[in-house]
Amino acid sequence: MNGLALNKLNEEVTTTCYGTTEKKTRRAALEEYYEGMKCSEGAEHERYETIFFQLLEGYTECSDQIPFYAIGL
């Protein structure tokens, strides 16, 4: 999905971070992962950032795992 998904804040999304999968509204997930980005650094920050930007892009299933094709392997 292209563009920001801010018009879908009440949509249910699924997030998987550190192997734990949760369902919540996009708004709640954005708030959680934004806070995580602010309070972390290094690899942990990158995990939160990956999910945060997937949420903004409109994904309904988000993961902290970057697919191998996205990193040029």
CA distance 45 to 23: 21
In single-letter form, the type of residue at position 59 comes to Y
- Say if residues 5 and 26 touch (Cβ distance below 8 Å): yes
Per-residue confidence of the chain (73 residues) as pLDDT tens digits? 445 667 889 999 999 999 999 999 999 999 999 999 999 999 999 999 999 999 999 999 999 987 655 555 5
Q: Is 70 helix (H, G, I), strand (E, B) or coil?
A: helix
Residue-level pLDDT at 1: 43
Residue-level pLDDT at 64: 94
Residue-level pLDDT at 58: 92
Residue-level pLDDT at 7: 81
CA distance 73 to 58: 25
Residue-level pLDDT at 34: 97
Can you give the residue ranges of every domain in the chain? Answer: 15-65
